[in-house]
Amino acid sequence: MLIAIPDLLDAAAVARLRGIIDAAQWVDGNVTSGHQSALAKRNEQLPEDSAAAREAGQMVLDALGRSPLFFAATLPLKVFPPLFNRYGIGQTFGTHVDNAIRIQRGTDFRIRADISCTLFLADPADYDGGELVIEDLFGVQRVKLPAGHAVVYPSSSLHHVTPVTRGTRVASFFWLQSMVRDDGDRRILFDLDRAVQTIGADRGQGDPAVIQLTGVYHNLLRRWADA
C-alpha cells in the first residue's frame, strides 16, 4: 500500500527543520547501509547520533503524532528515529529492499521494518531527478512530492532513487513497525476507516450504520493487531 501524506510539515516547519540540518556536518550515506544497499547507495547523511538529527527528528515525530492520515495508513507500533539524507548532482540509490530489522546504533531499540517513509524536504522545482521509484503490486510508481509531504510504502518493496542532475534532493527517511504486520490487512483497515469517516461526516457519528461499521473496524483491528 502506497499512501501520500500531504502537508505533514507546513512551509514554516520545513524552513525551521532545514535551518537545523543544513548547518550540520554531513557524512557518507553508507554509515547506515546493509551489504546490499552499500553497493548501490551514493548520497550523504546526517549522523544519526548528532544533535541536529535528534532535534530535527523530534520535529518529524511530533508531526507524525498530529496526522490522523498517517496513523490510519500505518497503525504504528514503533517508529525508528527519523534519519536525513541528501543527494547532490550525480548521486543516486540503486534498486534495493530495506533491511527487515532496523537497530538503532548504540541502543537495544529495534523494530521489524514493515513500512518505509520518505518525507520530502526540498521542493521539486529545486532539483531535477531524485525521484523515488517504487515497484509494488500495481506496477512502478514514481514519487516526487512537494517539501513537507511524505509517502509511506511497504518496506518489502523494491525501490530506488534516480540520479540527481541539478540541485540537491533533501529528505527524511525512516521505518515503522505496524500493529498490523500484513500489508493487505492494513489496506482493508485503511479503506474501511476512510469509508467510515466519509459516511460519518455525511450522516453524523451517531448514525446506526456508522456505529456498526466502526465496530467492524475495531473488531478486525482486534483480530489482526499485535500491540
Model pLDDT for residues 145-172, shown as the tens digit of each residue:
999 999 999 999 999 999 999 999 999 9
CATH of domain 183-224: 4.10.860
Enter the pTM of the model: 0.92
Residue 35 among known ligand-binding residues: no
Q: Helix, strand, or coil here: 92?
A: strand
Query: What's the pLDDT tens digit per position in 115-152?
Result: 999 999 999 999 999 999 999 877 899 999 999 999 99
pLDDT on residue 105:
87
Domain boundaries, the chain: 3-178, 183-224
Q: Which residues of 66-85 are buried (b: 16+ CB within 10 A; e: fewer)?
A: ebebbebbbbbbebbbbbbb
pLDDT class of 41 with cuts at 50, 70, 90: confident
Give the CB-side neighbour count of residue 68, counting CA atoms within 13 A: 3
Assign a CATH topology to domain 3-178. Answer: Jelly Rolls (2.60.120)
Q: Is 226 annotated as a binding residue?
A: no
Q: Is 193 annotated as a binding residue?
A: no
Q: Is 22 annotated as a binding residue?
A: no
Contact 176, 159 (CB under 8 A): no
Q: Find the mean pLDDT for residues 36-60.
A: 87
Write down the pLDDT at residue 106. 85
Mark out the alpha helices in the chain (DSSP H runs): 11-22, 35-40, 51-65, 68-74, 183-203, 208-224
Across the range 60-82, mean pLDDT stands at 97
